[in-house]
Structure 1
């Protein structure tokens, strides 16, 4: 092969495989060096260089010139195998580096085959039509519930993960990730693409409902109206791509006192109480708005919680009052606590034994003015009570406090009276303070993500 022909082949590999030319030159040089070593030359004595302009190969052992064409068949075959291996490694590195920076970006691919519900898509390397393509996988768990893939379908998705599997690179796509909604908004709404409107946060339960918080840097541009479009024309395109998924567009506000009611719309909120130590917000609503704020199966409050990044508990005023009364009884039953313990904890938003278990002893000591050792004992007691309640299958809302008696302490008359009143209440007898058992307030929970390790155990083919 003459120099011009070698340069032509290198240029073709560079364009088709997207491998840097210098990497290809180095691979050929290393392969020829190994071949010459197997042909009887010591490795340290052989120097191989390819002229980057003319393509001529210069090889020498010491001061003696070597003609590469004189290599034997076995040596030439070894050089070929090594060169192919280095090309594959370079191509794999290029794909990994490119797509690692494109996580969350939209790609469009063609379904090549479907294997047990998992779609194998062909996507372009640089996002342009006619460019070289590679395979990516769209797992069944990352497809919108209810949709079915067919061969030759054109599918939009976002790059969710990129991982190495030996010398291969696996690209995992998703249509369930919140970034898919974000990417669709950027594609359909020009004001978002040009950064006049910014998407602050997205929360989503794929196939059912999404919440998108937006804000505008231009006071003349209505961020919500621009996203909806005239008669819903813009948002309709997004909803169609999501197979009819409901989308709530929320106006962002940096103040959580305003943002949380916005996130819980269309429910009307009476009051929002913020407790930063727990990352919790207690939202008070009227009885008429309780079910609307919670949503079907807790969906509205769950999405709002993920949107603002706070745990949200929806309560009526009556439920909060009862919760505070029960917390006073529980915390008052903890042995050796200072007088202001219950008040201090309730003021910070702690309403159950379990809440206290999330604190470190140093934090609790600072809050109530005790030593870290004493705080650690309080936390251990709360852990025991929380475990007992869970083990016995009872709700903290229905369980009366237990007076602890240790070897060093005796119950006070007040503690004995409180225990007798609690026992009488459990047995249905009339007591001074009545507290009916109510369901535990709904607390937003963020579903745990699904691991991707299983996707890389076997080749999708």
Structure 2
């Protein structure tokens, strides 16, 4: 019987070797899949209730088919168990818990059994192939890979990577870009995920990192780490900006990326279907970087507010359309590149706004301090922006203003202090009228005007304030205290102070 089993078995090992080589998976995994297939066929022949096991000798290819039964005191399943009394007739040394293994004759695979075996082998090989594919690609995110287009369905491209397949979705393709079967494609490995149907590799040609990696392939200085890509912003297929910096003062980062007669940047542009690329020198100073990022437009003035992440840029009147770009593209890309929200004004608009601020502040001083326009204008010109500044500034600073003597300075300070007291009383009365608790008013950092703003927004108790997030106070569009110069750190401190009473009871415990 053993001879009959062993004759064709070397051929079985050759098949396993061929499948392992073709699919790039372990030979032992193929043989294990074959064993499971033979087991399934054995159970189909002898009954599914039996514990049938198959073993393929890894050297000879011999198949050993066995039935396994457990020795038990009380039989619950006759197919997989045998009583101790029967077992000891075969071998007196057997006891409960031992296994009896009976050899079975070799299976003559019928058509259905062979088909079942083939399905099991194919399924197991596919599972092993997917596992190998995931292990191979899971650590290759953000790499550029080359492949061949296998098929295109509804604009989604399936790419053959040689040792796996990947998906290039329609929204990850450049606009108006089309591929046909057999086309060569280059893309970034964006994500590798394990899903119920197996590992999925997702590619992208629109991701900013795709451009960065293309430059690394074309510019040896980037690959070697001499030049670093600090930021990339893309409008895929149309325009892009890339911020670069050199670690070697002797190497121009922009020139290195452009290459001789633009050869390096042109290679990237061709791969990206003609996408225009602005290469910008990166700067540690945000204002300088923003000015560079808005190229080719010229900038005449920059006002930076780092706390709110906004920057105001003033450009000559004839540069406005260039700075904004077609459909706002230039300023949008510059904003993405620098991480700042950019507001663009012309010199005329800025001048008009400055004049309006001058008029508004002058009127404020005229009303609050009961002075004429000459004195009010002098205060604004000297940089005073609020009545508080006049009240708190040293007298010497006021007397240094041309035309102001000590009597005028003292009178202005006295009027400013009187106005502040009256305003504080008015705001406190309004705060109480709105129902804002005294406990909220005691929080450090909240002015009477802020308390009124909170009351008007329905924030009246410590719990109301404690439930807020910092950006709900400071957000430039919807923040309750957006009209006050309140930073995120100060807002967080105010909210934490409002939450302090939540923990008082815990401390006492």
| Residue 344 (structure 2) pairs with residue 307 (structure 1) | no
* Unaligned ranges ≥5, structure 2: 1-6, 68-99, 362-384, 387-422, 432-445, 455-472, 501-509
Tell me if the contact between 2:450 and 2:481 (Cα under 8 Å) persists in the aligned partners.
Answer: no
What do residues 322-352 of structure 1 show as CA deviations (whole Å, max 9, x unaligned)?
Answer: 69979x99xx99973724649x99xxx9684
Deviation of the 1:103 alpha carbon: 3.1
Residue 364 of structure 1: how far off its partner (Å) = 3.1
C-alpha root-mean-square deviation of aligned residues, in Å? Answer: 4.1
CA distance in 1 between counterparts of 2:19 and 2:188 reads 28
Residues 214, 353 of structure 1: alpha-carbon distance in 2 compared, 3 angstrom cutoff: closer
Which residue number in structure 2 is paired with residue 364 of structure 1? 491
Find the counterpart in structure 2 of residue 282 from structure 1: 311
Q: Report if aligned partners of 1:281, 1:311 keep a CA contact under 8 Å in 2.
A: yes
- How big is the shift at 1:26? 2.4
1:23 and 2:29 matched: yes
Q: Is the contact made by 1:283 and 1:314 (CA closer than 8 Å) also made in structure 2?
A: yes
Contact 1:137–1:170 (CA<8 Å) still a contact in 2? yes
2:302 maps to which residue? 271
Q: Report deviation, 1:186.
A: 2.1
Question: Once the two structures are superposed, what CA deviation does each residue of 1:352-373 show, in whole Å capped at 9, x if it has no partner?
Answer: 4514489999963735998469
Is contact 1:39-1:71 (8 Å) kept? no
Report if aligned partners of 2:52, 2:65 keep a CA contact under 8 Å in 1. Answer: yes
Q: Deviations over 1:293-313 (max 9, x none)?
A: 332222122112222333333
Q: Structure 1 residue 122 and structure 2 residue 160: aligned?
A: yes
Q: Is 1:81 aligned with 2:208?
A: no
| Aligned-pair CA distance for 1:45 | 4.6
Give the equivalent residue in structure 1 for 2:130: 92
The 1:353–1:218 alpha-carbon spacing in structure 2 relative to 1, beyond 3 Å, is closer
CA 1:189–1:68: 2 relative to 1, 3 Å = farther
Displacement of 1:32: 2.5
Q: Answer whether contact 1:272 1:282 (CA < 8 A) is retained.
A: yes
SS in 2 for 1:39: helix
- Alignment match of 1:66 (pick from 104, 107, 113): 104
* 1:338 aligned residue: 447
Report the CA distance shift for 1:340/1:320 in structure 2 as closer, same or farther (over 3 A).
farther
| Equivalent pair of 2:39/2:54 in contact (CA under 8 Å) | yes
Q: How many residues align?
A: 356
Aligned to 1:298: 328
* Matched-pair contact (CA < 8 Å) for 1:48–1:58: yes
State the TM-score, normalizing by the size of structure 2.
0.59
Equivalent residues in 2 for 1:35-434 (5 A)?
A: 35-40=41-46, 45-61=51-67, 62-70=100-108, 74-125=112-163, 134-163=164-193, 166-167=196-197, 169-269=199-299, 270-276=301-307, 278=308, 280-288=309-317, 289-315=319-345, 317-318=350-351, 336=431, 338-339=447-448, 341=450, 352-356=476-480, 364=491, 366=493, 371=498
Unaligned segments of structure 1, at least 5 residues: 126-133, 374-461
Q: Provide the rounded CA distance (Å) in 2 between the counterparts of 1:53 and 1:210.
A: 60
Write the distance in 2 (CA, Å) between the matches of 1:157 and 1:260: 30
String of CA shifts for 1:50-106, please: whole Å, max 9, x gaps: 333444333333333334434665444433322221122222233334334333322
Distance 1:210 1:357 in 2: 37
Asked if structure 1 preserves the Cα contact closer than 8 Å seen for 2:149 and 2:157, the reply is yes
Q: 2:475, 2:107 → 1: CA distance?
A: 84
Q: 1:106 touches 1:156 (CA, 8 Å); kept in 2?
A: yes
Normalising by structure 1, we get a TM-score of: 0.64
Larger radius of gyration: 2
SS in 2 for 1:156: strand
Residues 273 and 135 (structure 1), Cα distance of their counterparts in 2 relative to 1, 3 Å cut: same
* SS of alignment partner, residue 297 of structure 2: coil
Mapped to 1, the partners of 2:336 and 2:357 lie a distance apart of 24
Structure 1 CA distance, aligned partners of 2:332 and 2:357? 21
Counterpart residue number, 2:370? none
In structure 2, do the counterparts of structure 1 residues 11 and 198 end up closer, same or farther at CA, with 3 Å as the change threshold? farther
Contact 1:107–1:156, Cα closer than 8 Å, also in 2: yes
| Deviation per residue, 1:188-235 (Å, 9 max, x gap) | 222223333222221100111111122333333322211110111111
